[in-house]
Amino acid sequence: MTTFAGAVEANGQYVEHLRVVRQIRDDALAKDELQLPQICVIGATSAGKSSFLSRLTGVPFPQDAEMCTKAAIVVNCTRRDDASSCTEAEPATACSSGSSKQANALKFYISDRNKKYVECGADEIAEKISERQNELLMDEFPHLAPDDVSSVKQIVSGEIKVLVEGPGVCDLTLVDLPGFVQNEGKSEGLKSQVEALVKKHVQKKETLICIVSEAKETEDNIEALQVAREFDKHGARTLHVLSKFDLFDSIDAERRARDWICEDWDNGNDLGRHAVINFVKGGEGPMEETREEEMLVGLNLPKERVGVIRFRERVQPLFANLIATHIPALATSIRLRLAECKRALEKIGREPQSDQELIMAVKTILLSGSTNVQQKLSTAAFAKFKEGAHAKEELLTFEWTTESFGTNAFECPVFQGREVFEDCLRRIRDEWRPILQEYMKDVKQIATTSTKKLLTCPTVTPLPGRLISAVITEAGKNVDVTSVRFNKSCTDALDLEAEFGTANSYFDASFGAMEAIPEALEKMISQSLTGKWNDLKNVDDVMQTIGAAKKEYAFKQSSAEMDENCKQKIHKAVKANFNCEAKTFVDSILKHTRNGVLHSRTSWIQNTLHNNPIIKSAAKEDPKIVKKREELKQQEERLTNCQLQIESVFYDGEAESSESQPHENAEAGNGQLHGALANGNEEEEEEQHDADAHEHEHEQPMEVEMVGGDHYVVDEQEQVECEDQDVDPKRQCRR
């Protein structure tokens, strides 16, 4: 049977994909927000996670009774020269971390703070990992003393990157995460820090989760399993390694662990559990791999689910499919992030701006926002003022307009009431005053705040903060000066309303309409016609009725008191004057606003702003903008390199297709891995299971080729038993 490693060696696609993903991980930063395919190894601090990884990768990780992993350790394993893959049986023996032959053959590198890989010996790598971890701790916790940093139990956000290469090394990338802790001790918050870092990695659908736990533990006691299920409910991207498979505290625990392995195998769960033994009992050192497999197979466990050798065979194709599934979406993500970076860079300018360019940018922004200021004044201030001014007409009742009227025997009765009319005008002015004051306050507020809103709007080119502050301050001073003049002109206009002063024909028309047919006469005419005449009565009859009503009205008026007639005239005159002045007064304030505020603002921007010494001294590019520009340029370079790397594995047509359907490509890898990865769909599994059973229905006896080249002969009786139990004979686990 051809192994997967042999297949990928033939076409080189997996190795090339892996190289690209690694290069992108080295080039990119966390803030680039690129979701990279990865295998994350999680587990408790005492679960044997580091020991298992040391045997799997050949990297001697730091190991201690205390917490030793405080940062994510990214291990890139690369097979070099033309040596055989470690998925083959014989070279696999040399892959044991306890082998001196392997230690001499492997080369180790660790990335320093400058992202350069520095070579170190096999006996140095564990110490170098600890030193790099301490550097990250000092970077994030500078208050720590150098002598104390190694003993501090804190989690850092940075990554430690290790490269191991040589013959017999599997092409893999694994991320070793800090182990879950049960007792925080004096390190308050450590448990939550570990959990947050683990969740940050495993929640990504691009992550293949590898749990390492002691074989004796129940599922409820495995915290890593609970976290994995939170983000991978059906286990579609979760592997589970049961370590210390030779150490059980009860027969029930051993039986339970063996049943887990066998049930996963029998059910065809390609992401099922895997048994390992890291150390030989009695402290004899790391377990030799072929001996490990013999011991575990001797426990009636399926050969394919035990030992580090077989784990390498399993995990490499799973990781290959993970990368193949998500690399199109990764390509799309890089293109989108690069386009976003370029837009941000164009917005702030690729090159620094001169002093004059900065000032011109300010003037352009403020002038282009003039319409916005006018609209704000119209809707938020003037409309309210206009409505408030006209609403005072409700006060002009007969009683309100004539309440100060008194009989004056020394005045001709026909001309009495002039003082009352003028008093009404003053009272109307006083009613308008608070409305005008509120309007003037609103105008100043809008004029003041508009400068800040325009200059700090997210859609405009970012300007130096110091320059923005200077312009806001100086513009505010101009508003203060303008407001004094504007308020005086508005107040003067209001004071003029205390005296009669209109020759507007609208006043004559309004007053005349009230006097043409007095209201009492109108009522008499309407009453005389109501109920007595139909619509088609003779015109002469109607005129006679109106004439009779006029005579009756004249008789009553002759007997009415002269004072009442004067009051009626005063009331009508006040209302007529209000109807005229309410319009002219509001129009006058509108003109003062335009001339005193808007024109003054435009003049200051065009003629004064660029000569203001305070603004000129502040027209220097903000250090934050300089830093931001440099960061964006660096990000653009990183993402461009990433794009070139990932495009090297695509044909142009494929790249364009993935760009046109980014959501489809991204969704394709969401919890469902192609091929060796379980799809989590029970119906599809059942259909595949039926197909497998049908395939073997007429074969007797049957020879099945197992992974690794072994052959297993199924006789007729065993085949029949398997069919009766609806189990694929090549999956049958002997317990």
Burial class (CB in 10 A: 0-12, 13-18, 19+), 513: exposed
**Stretch (H or E) spanning 473:** helix 465-495
> Do 378 and 284 share a domain, yes or no?
no
Query: Cα-flanking dihedrals φ and ψ of residue 698, to 5°?
Result: -110, 15
Q: What is the dihedral of CA 183, 184, 189, 193, to 10 degrees?
A: -70
Please name which of 513, 96, 143 lies closest in space to residue 309, comparing C-alpha atoms.
96
Domain-located, residue 665: no
Q: For residue 471, what are the contacts with CB-CB under 8 A and spacing of at least 6? A: 362, 366, 451, 455, 609, 615, 618
Q: At 664, list the tokens.
A: 């489809």
C-beta separation of 282 from 247 below 8 A: no
3-state secondary structure of 185: coil
Beta bridge partners of 354: none
Per-residue pLDDT, averaged over 406-418, amounts to 60
Residue with tokens 């070139």: 644
Q: Residue 345: what residue type?
A: L
**676 compared with 596, residue with greater pLDDT:** 596
Final residue in a domain of this structure, among 604, 620, 636: 620
Q: What confidence score (pLDDT) does residue 152 get?
A: 79
Q: What confidence score (pLDDT) does residue 389 get?
A: 94
> Do 586 and 479 share a domain, yes or no?
yes
Q: What confidence score (pLDDT) does residue 213 get?
A: 95
Q: For residue 733, what are the contacts with CB-CB under 8 A and spacing of at least 6? A: 261, 262, 263, 265, 266, 300, 301, 302
What share of residues in the chain are helix, strand, coil (percent, to 5)? 60, 10, 30
> Do 510 and 409 share a domain, yes or no?
yes
Domain-located, residue 669: no
Buried b (16+ CB within 10 A) or exposed e, 670-694: ebbbeebbbbbeeeeeeeebeebee
> Do 359 and 306 share a domain, yes or no?
no
Q: Give the up-direction half-sphere exposure of residue 4: CA atoms within 13 A in the CB hemisphere.
A: 20
Domain-located, residue 325: no
Please name which of 635, 97, 686 lies closest in space to residue 344, comparing C-alpha atoms.
635
Reported as a single tens digit per residue, the pLDDT across 147-157 is: 777 777 888 88
Between CA 13 and CA 645 the distance in angstroms is 14
Q: Where are the beta strands (DSSP E) in 23-99?
A: 38-43, 72-79
Q: How many helices (H) and strands (E) does the chain have?
A: 28, 11
Distances (CA, A) of 491 to 35, 182, 596: 65, 76, 13
If pLDDT is split at 50, 70 and 90, which confidence band does 4 have? very low
C-beta separation of 40 from 177 below 8 A: yes
**Stretch (H or E) spanning 635:** helix 623-647
> Do 467 and 402 share a domain, yes or no?
yes
Residue 611 has pLDDT above 50, yes or no: yes
> Do 381 and 300 share a domain, yes or no?
no
Q: Give the up-direction half-sphere exposure of residue 533: CA atoms within 13 A in the CB hemisphere.
A: 18
Per-residue HEC secondary structure of 394-444 comes to: HHCCHHHHHCCCCCCCCCCHHHCCHHHHHHHHHHHHHHHHHHHHHHHHHHH
Between CA 98 and CA 288 the distance in angstroms is 7
How many C-beta atoms lie closer than 10 Å to residue 153's C-beta? 18
Domain-located, residue 646: no
Residue 549 has pLDDT above 60, yes or no: yes
Q: What confidence score (pLDDT) does residue 458 get?
A: 80
Q: Residue 209: what residue type?
A: I
> Do 446 and 561 share a domain, yes or no?
yes
Distances (CA, A) of 596 to 312, 378, 481: 81, 15, 10
| List of long-range contacts for 252-260, beta carbons under 8 Å, 24+ apart | 253/215, 253/216, 254/215, 254/216, 256/218, 257/215, 257/216, 258/299, 258/300, 258/301, 258/735, 259/735
Residue ranges making up the domain that contains 430:
355-620
Between CA 527 and CA 546 the distance in angstroms is 11
Between CA 601 and CA 472 the distance in angstroms is 13
> Do 143 and 275 share a domain, yes or no?
yes
3-state secondary structure of 35: coil
Q: For residue 558, what are the contacts with CB-CB under 8 A and spacing of at least 6? A: none
> Do 126 and 232 share a domain, yes or no?
yes
DSSP string, 101-145: HHHHH-EEEEE-TTS-EEEE-TTTHHHHHHHHHHHHHHHH-TTS-
Lowest mean pLDDT segment, chosen from 74-78, 686-690, 717-721 = 717-721
If pLDDT is split at 50, 70 and 90, which confidence band does 98 have? very low
How many C-beta atoms lie closer than 10 Å to residue 312's C-beta? 22
Final residue in a domain of this structure, among 275, 310, 345: 310
C-beta separation of 50 from 63 below 8 A: yes
Q: At 310, list the tokens.
A: 């077989």
Reported as a single tens digit per residue, the pLDDT across 330-389 is: 999 999 999 999 999 988 888 888 899 999 999 999 999 999 999 999 999 999 999 999
Domain-located, residue 332: no
> Do 236 and 299 share a domain, yes or no?
yes
Reported as a single tens digit per residue, the pLDDT across 664-702 is: 433 433 333 444 333 433 443 444 444 444 444 443 443
Q: What confidence score (pLDDT) does residue 565 get?
A: 77
Between CA 254 and CA 162 the distance in angstroms is 36
> Do 363 and 304 share a domain, yes or no?
no
Domain-located, residue 641: no
Number of domains in the chain: 3
Read off the CATH number of the domain in which 155 is found.
3.40.50.300
* pLDDT > 70: percent of the chain: 72
DSSP 594: I
CA dihedral (682, 683, 686, 692) positive or negative:
negative
Q: What confidence score (pLDDT) does residue 281 get?
A: 75
CA 693 to chain centre: 49
Domain-located, residue 513: yes
pTM: 0.60
Per-residue pLDDT, averaged over 86-107, amounts to 48
End-to-end Cα separation, the chain, in angstroms: 26
3-state secondary structure of 310: helix
C-beta separation of 159 from 93 below 8 A: no
Final residue in a domain of this structure, among 620, 646, 668: 620
Between CA 11 and CA 389 the distance in angstroms is 85
> Do 43 and 138 share a domain, yes or no?
yes
If pLDDT is split at 50, 70 and 90, which confidence band does 282 have? low
Domain-located, residue 662: no
Residue 9 has pLDDT above 50, yes or no: no
Q: At 465, list the tokens.
A: 């903060």
3-state secondary structure of 711: strand
